[in-house]
C-alpha cells in the first residue's frame, strides 16, 4: 500500500473519530496497531485494546468531572498543613486510587513543590 493511501486512511480515521467523539482512538489507533502487530494480536485483540483505552480515559474524565462538580472540600489540605508544620521530607498517600485519576493530584503536587518536596521525594502508593 502506498504512503499516500496510508495517509489518506489515517486522515479518514481521525475525521471519523472526531465525528464519533473518540479522541483516544484517534490519538492511539496507530500505536496500538503497531503494538498489536508486535504482540501478534488478532484484529479483535487490537480492537479490544483500542476500545479499552478509550473507555479508561472516559472513566478518568467522568471521575474528574464529578469530583469537580461536587465541590468537595479538599480533605488533603489539613494533612499537608501538618506535614509542612512538622518539616517532614516526605508524605504518604494510600488507598486513593481515584485521586490519582483526578486533577486534584496536580494541586497536591504543586503544594508539595511549594513545601520544597521534590517529586522524587514524594512517595505515593495506591492500593487496590
Give yes or no: residues 56 and 7 share one domain: yes
Q: Domain limits at 54?
A: 3-70
- Please state the domain count of the chain: 2
Please determine, for residue 114, whether its predicted confidence score (pLDDT) is greater than 80: yes
pLDDT tens-digit readout, 55-70: 999 998 998 888 778 7
Give yes or no: residues 82 and 115 share one domain: yes
Please determine, for residue 48, whether its predicted confidence score (pLDDT) is greater than 90: yes
More confident residue, 105 or 9: 9
| SS3 assignment, position 62 | helix
Give yes or no: residues 8 and 62 share one domain: yes
Please determine, for residue 33, whether its predicted confidence score (pLDDT) is greater than 70: yes
Long-range Cβ pairs for the range 17-23 (8 Å, 24+): 22/54, 23/57
- Output the nine-digit C-alpha cell for 35: 503494538
Give yes or no: residues 66 and 12 share one domain: yes
pLDDT tens-digit readout, 73-106: 677 788 888 888 888 777 777 656 677 767 777 8
Give yes or no: residues 8 and 45 share one domain: yes
- 88/114 Cα distance (integer angstroms): 13
Confidence (pLDDT) at 9: 95
Amino acid at each position: 500500500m502506498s504512503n499516500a493511501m496510508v495517509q489518506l486512511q489515517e486522515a479518514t480515521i481521525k475525521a471519523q473519530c472526531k465525528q464519533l467523539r473518540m479522541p483516544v482512538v484517534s490519538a492511539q489507533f496507530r500505536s496500538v496497531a503497531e503494538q498489536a502487530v508486535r504482540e501478534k494480536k488478532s484484529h479483535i485483540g487490537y480492537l479490544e485494546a483500542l476500545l479499552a483505552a478509550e473507555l479508561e480515559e472516559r472513566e478518568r474524565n467522568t471521575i474528574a468531572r464529578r469530583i469537580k462538580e461536587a465541590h468537595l472540600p479538599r480533605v488533603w489540605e489539613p494533612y499537608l498543613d501538618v506535614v509542612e508544620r512538622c518539616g517532614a521530607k516526605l508524605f504518604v498517600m494510600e488507598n486513593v486510587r481515584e485521586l490519582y485519576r483526578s486533577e486534584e493530584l496536580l494541586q497536591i503536587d504543586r503544594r508539595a513543590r511549594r513545601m520544597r518536596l521534590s517529586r522524587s521525594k514524594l512517595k505515593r502508593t495506591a492500593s487496590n
